[in-house]
Amino acid sequence: MDEARGARRTGILFDLDGTLIDSVYQHVLAWREALEDVGIDVPVWKIHRKIGMSGGLFARALLREVGAPISPDVAQRLQTRHHEAFERYRGAVRPLPGAVDLLERLTAYRTPWAVATSGRRATAGPNLALLGLPEGVPIITREAVARAKPDPDLFLAAADALGLTIEDCVVVGDSVWDLLAARRARALSIGLLSGGYGTDELERAGAFRVYEDPADLLRHLDEVGIRELE
């Protein structure tokens, strides 16, 4: 098979928090504070397990746990409080091992890639800055779509921004919600352990392959069919 110049390219659609940036645990504790602030008591591990969902679904999923109603006012306060709390944790946030190298390698390979996150641009922006992204990389944040993960809209928009069909893209994410969104979009997906989920959880959610973190994915790019375009 000739996969050289002019052949179909595989695009990579990255989640951000827990996939490229080591920020999941800080987000988890920021949500814990925000929830307690509006009188909702949810243990931390349950918040962890819902991270990566859209804010609206996230709030609804947590409320299912506690059985309380939530008004639009409270939903807005939750978002604001989470953003404020996360700002306090932000100083400890770092890129994940290999994240910058992986993105550079993909760029060098001329493999198209994009970022698609359920986060809002205000929160995601400084995290993206840590990665030193090159010009022209499509960044799809919460504001760009009607429904965030586990709906497939973010990944569909990211594929579109790369000029690719979703079937020609591989989603890389750390959460069950990334992988479910990928399946709904009919994209293959790679799970990373760096968000703190277990291998089993990621495989059951449909991961085609599971690696530790971006550095581990970089070492195994050949396993997922990513190679230099000749």
Binding site for its own copies (CB under 8 A): 18, 22, 24-26, 28-29, 32-33, 36, 41, 43-45, 48, 89, 92, 94, 96-97, 193-201, 213
Of 65 and 168, CB closest to its own copies? 65
Name the minimum Å distance from CB 3 to its own copies.
33
Of 135 and 200, CB closest to its own copies? 200
Alpha helices in the chain (DSSP H): 24-37, 44-50, 55-66, 72-89, 99-108, 121-131, 153-161, 176-185, 199-204, 214-219
Name the minimum Å distance from CB 220 to its own copies.
17
Whose structure tokens read 């989920």?
197
Q: What is the C-alpha to C-alpha distance for residues 141 and 137, in angstroms, rounded to an integer?
A: 13
Name the minimum Å distance from CB 79 to its own copies.
19
Contact 169, 113 (CB under 8 A): no
94-95 and 21-22: which strand pairing? antiparallel
Contact 51, 27 (CB under 8 A): yes
Of 101 and 228, CB closest to its own copies? 101
Name the minimum Å distance from CB 197 to its own copies.
7
Of 27 and 149, CB closest to its own copies? 27
